[in-house]
Amino acid sequence: MCGIVGAVAQRDVKRILLEGLRRLEYRGYDSAGLAVLAAGGPIQRHRAVGKVEALENQIAEVPLSGHTGIAHTRWATHGVPSECNAHPHISRDRIALVHNGIIENYQALKQQLQVDGYSFSSDTDSEVVVNLVHQALDDGGDLLAAVRKVLGQIRGAYALAVMDRHAPGRLIGARRGSPLVVGLGFDEYFFASDVFALLPVTQRFVFLEEGDVVDLRAEGFTILNAAGEVTERPIQVSGIDPESADRGAYRHYMLKEIHEQPAVIANTLSGRLADGRLSADFFGGEGNAILERIKRVQIVACGTSYHAGMVARYWIEELCGLPCNVEVASEYRYRVRPVADETTLFVVISQSGETADTLAALRDARERDYGASLAICNVPESSLVRESDLVLMTRAGQEIGVASTKAFTTQLVALMLLVLALGRHRGLPEAEERRLAAALQQLPQAVEACLALEGDIQAMAEHFADKHHALFLGRGAQYPVAMEGALKLKEISYIHAEAYPAGELKHGPLALVDADMPVVAVAPNNELLEKLLSNLQEVNARGGELFVFADQTVEVGEVQHHLPVVSVDDELAPLIYTVPLQLLAYHVAVLKGTDVDKPRNLAKSVTVE
């Protein structure tokens, strides 16, 4: 939530800041702003409601340049999206600040600042921090000391960058609870919420730790750790392709990412299977020693990643015989006494690796008696990856569409690899391991076959665009797939959608079914098929409009809309059936004319709780 960029250079930094904001827009896009400073000049600030493009248009005609600058793209927490709530915030024409996070004790601090004569022009929590820095500077000392003093006064989560009109060529940054990286150029240094923002200017980064404060200048930078000691952090070179954000010929990133799935699934598998089985060094010796002790699995995640965990629960219990619990992170983290013991593997799943609730759950778990933690994640440099005992990267490549697609299917692939690794210690027969490994290798082709349905799905979407509600049904491991399908539809088309295990239909939701309530069902050919088909007839009998994605070998009977789906091994069917539901949501959203890649009110990386 919210993206920040900062730059100190010999050249004008305006373009660097704007490009950084464009690349961070996935973190929030309700308003944006920047402030630049040239030696001896005033702070030049511009802010605009809406996307970064609105800010660019606003400053296109304005003469604006400076060698020091900060910028922000916002996802509102305190105060509506408006120009005065947009960052940077400025205190008394001297201090400018951008902030990502939430200051929990801002109200008490604000009252005191008002008593001290500070005025406020926004409803944000962040404006408290900029005024506090100003006040601390007025009390004496330099910018670094002032910021450190303020960090001792505020409570909550933050990544922030501060600029002082009286100190051109210098920025102070700090992180606790929200991500911040330092980018290293030649005689120019940068801050950003992620590396991607800075790839056009550098590939060299330092990842800050919790509690770090950085004094950044054009000649170099100094890091103080949480204890206030000068400290060194390793320099890492990013392997991310700076061009990976290219949308190519696709109309939206989401569509591009849906179509990338065969390739990225192959990437997730690459080097991890050998001789038709899981490769022997998959988790390495230490990892295997950990897995050997495991008797229970606890999965924690949010949003789409939570749905991946729900699918995995079926696999872990059925194929490994291990009890598995799955919980959303925002609930898990506030449980007073979750059952934790040394034989439980604590698994966090996250595309970004920065989701505040998931990260907090991991940190809480590390204080408890779990056997080990494992992060299943798409971003190698993320906090989640750095703080887990074991790591399994999903290798989906950068995902830009806010509605997650390829991140989900690659999470499922990674989770199946975990199942094979756990299965080795839990008596999963070798023949079963080989069958599943072969099925995994067939996945890219099977996903291609689903993508070939796009034209039919587009036609199907025409019947959806005027609807206000929809039900999604699945059974067994397809129930979380139905949940994911419903989530996709509501996220990007704003149609209210609910998912139910098909057997629950008659316990309430059937009352909603009429000609205006489309019912979407996923029906692989498994032992639950007949039961599902009976549930569909119950819908039919009440005049509901059915949209069924069923295994190509299945005779579904009388339904209004039906598309045959390629047959795959049943365990991997959740992955396959997700694809048509992604395409359905996408084409409905296009017909409705919504902002597919940046749906209203949402953000891709949720770094506040």
List contacts with ligand G6P (CB under 6 A): 302-305, 350-352, 355, 358, 402, 404, 602, 604-606
CB of 404 to ligand G6P, least distance (A): 4
Give the nearer residue to ligand G6P in terms of CB position, either 164 or 484.
484
Of the two residues 320 and 602, which places its CB atom closer to ligand G6P in the complex? 602
Closest CA to 260 of 242, 243, 247, 277: 247
Is the CB of residue 384 less than 8 Å from the CB of residue 605? no
Q: How far apart are the C-alpha atoms of 418 and 553, rounded to whole Å?
A: 30
- Return the half-sphere exposure (C-beta side, CA atoms, 13 A cut-off) of residue 201: 31
- 604 catalytic residue (yes or no): yes
Handedness of CA 73, 79, 81, 82 (dihedral sign): negative
CB-wise, 188 or 597, nearer to ligand G6P? Answer: 597
Shortest Cβ contact with ligand G6P: which residue? Answer: 303
Using the structure block, give the residue that is written with the tokens 């493009």: 53
Are 463 and 545 spatial neighbours (Cβ–Cβ below 8 Å)?
A: yes
Give the Cα separation of 256 and 462 in Å (integer): 21
Give whichever of 305 and 388 is closer to ligand G6P, judged by the CB atom.
Answer: 305
Can you point out the beta strands (E) in 129-269? Answer: 156-164, 170-176, 181-184, 189-192, 204-207, 213-217, 220-224, 230-231, 235-237
The answer to whether residue 377 is catalytic is: no
Phi, psi angles (nearest 5°) of residue 540: -55, -45
> Judged by CB, which is closer to ligand G6P: 135, or 410?
410
Q: Which of residues 328 and 536 has its CB atom nearest to ligand G6P in the complex?
A: 328
What lies within 8 Å, CB to CB, of 370 at 6+ separation is 298, 340, 341, 342, 344, 345, 346
Residue 301: CB minimum distance to ligand G6P, A: 6
Cβ 474 to ligand G6P, closest distance in Å? 19
Pairing of strands 44-49, 31-37: antiparallel
Indicate the SS3 state at residue 158. strand
Q: Report the b/e string of 139-177 with b at 16+ CB within 10 A.
A: eeeebbebbbbbbebbebbbbbbbbbbebbbbbbbbbbb
Map residue 405 onto helix, strand or coil. coil
Structure tokens at 332: 């898990």
Rg of the chain over Cα atoms, rounded to whole angstroms, equals 25
Please state, in angstroms and rounded to a whole number, the distance separating the CA atoms of residues 264 and 451.
14
Cβ proximity to ligand G6P, 308 vs 532, nearer residue? 308
Please name the residues in contact with 37: beta carbons below 8 A apart, sequence gap of 6 or more: 43, 44, 66, 67, 68, 69, 96, 163, 165, 168
| Shortest distance (Å) from residue 108 CB to ligand G6P | 30
Q: Which is nearer to ligand G6P, 316 or 606 (CB)?
A: 606
| Peptide bond between residue 88 and the one before it cis (omega within 30 degrees of 0) | yes
Q: Cβ of residue 411: shortest distance to ligand G6P, in angstroms? A: 8
Query: Rounded to whole angstroms, how far apart are CA atoms 351 and 384?
Result: 10
- Which CB, 162 or 583, lies closer to ligand G6P? 583
Active-site choice (51, 256, 406, 604):
604
Smaller CB distance to ligand G6P: residue 192 or 523? 192
Cβ at position 351, least distance to ligand G6P in Å: 4
Contact yes or no for 217/169 (Cβ under 8 A): yes
Kind plus residue range of the DSSP H or E element containing 584 = helix 573-592
How far, in Å, are 376, 397, 506, 541 from residue 509 at the CA level?
Answer: 34, 38, 7, 14
Task: From the candidates 2, 302, 320, 377, give the one annotated as an active-site residue.
Answer: 2
Dihedral pair phi/psi, residue 250, rounded to 5°: -75, 150
Catalytic (active-site) positions: 2, 604
